[in-house]
């Protein structure tokens, strides 16, 4: 898990967290195991459709995994006075983006929560409640698949807070 920071300007920063890449050894091991199991079933049942079905399922499963499941890199682009953009890029090259404008952002905090019998730290964006200035209407968790640890999160948190502080000192002009 690697964190990379790029400062584009005084009020614009990009923080990207890169997860572990798809390893060739694990991929070939999984494929060989699936095909060996299919060959064992074929040896027992003498039905050649099992082999073609196994090949088809392995290919389909690999494509679905690379395109919908395996996230390579997640990045956070913070532009002061404009908004925050969250991008996830998948192993097949697909990128999915979400943009949250600065008026809706209350704060970016590190929250702790119980997740699958563990307590994890995760970074999240708190969205402002339109009726209640002190309230939080929604919580948007970030870096869900790479799940960086606390030291990495603290770096990202400090970077985001430096930019978010500027919108308090600079007068709002909208």
Partner 1 sequence: NSPAPLPERAIYGFALFLGSWFGFILYLIWAYIPETWLFSLGLTYWPQKYWAVALPVYLLVAVGIGYVLLFGINMMSTAPLNSTHTITDNYAKKQQQKKFQEEAIPALRDIPISEVNRMFFLPEK
Distance from the Cα of residue 88 to its chain's centroid: 5
- For residues 118 to 147, the per-residue mask of contacts with partner 1, x marking binding by CB under 8 A and - elsewhere, is ----x-x-x-------xxxxxxxx--x---
Closer to partner 1 by Cβ: residue 10 or 110: 110
Torsion of CA 112, 85, 89, 153, to 10 degrees: -30
Considering the complex, what minimum distance in angstroms separates the CB of residue 69 from partner 1?
A: 18
List the interface residues with partner 1, window 76-105 (CB under 8 A): none
Q: Which phi and psi (to 5°) does residue 17 adopt?
A: -110, 125
Rounded-to-integer distance, Cα 102 and Cα 83, Å: 4
Name which position in 58, 85, 92, 161 contacts partner 1 (CB under 8 A).
Answer: 161
Told to check if 109 binds partner 1 by CB under 8 A, we report yes
Q: Which residues of 56-69 are buried (b: 16+ CB within 10 A; e: fewer)?
A: eebeeebeebbeee
Q: How far is the CB of 128 from partner 1 (least distance, A)?
A: 12
Q: Which of residues 2-31 bind partner 1 (CB under 8 A)?
A: none
Closer CB to partner 1, 59 or 112, in the complex: 112
- As a whole number of angstroms, the distance between CA 156 and CA 166 comes to 16
Q: Where along the sequence are the contacts to partner 1 (CB under 8 A)?
A: 106-107, 109-111, 113-116, 122, 124, 126, 134-141, 144, 154, 157-158, 161
């Amino acid at each position: 898990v690697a964190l990379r920071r790029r400062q584009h300007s005084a009020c614009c920063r990009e923080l990207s967290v890169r997860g572990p890449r798809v390893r060739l050894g694990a991929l070939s091991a999984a494929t060989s195991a699936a095909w060996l199991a299919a060959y064992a079933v074929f040896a027992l049942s003498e039905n050649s459709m099992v082999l073609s079905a196994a090949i088809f399922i392995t290919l389909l499963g690999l494509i679905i995994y690379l395109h919908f499941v395996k996230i390579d890199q997640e990045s956070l682009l913070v532009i002061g006075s404009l908004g925050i953009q969250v991008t996830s890029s998948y192993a097949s090259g697909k990128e999915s983006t979400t943009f949250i404008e600065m008026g809706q952002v209350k704060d970016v905090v590190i929250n702790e929560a119980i997740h699958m019998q563990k307590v994890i730290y995760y970074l999240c964006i708190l969205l402002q409640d339109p009726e209640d200035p002190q309230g939080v209407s929604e919580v948007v968790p970030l870096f869900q698949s790479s799940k960086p640890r606390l030291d990495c999160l603290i770096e990202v948190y400090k970077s985001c807070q430096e930019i978010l502080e500027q919108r308090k000192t600079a007068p709002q002009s909208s």
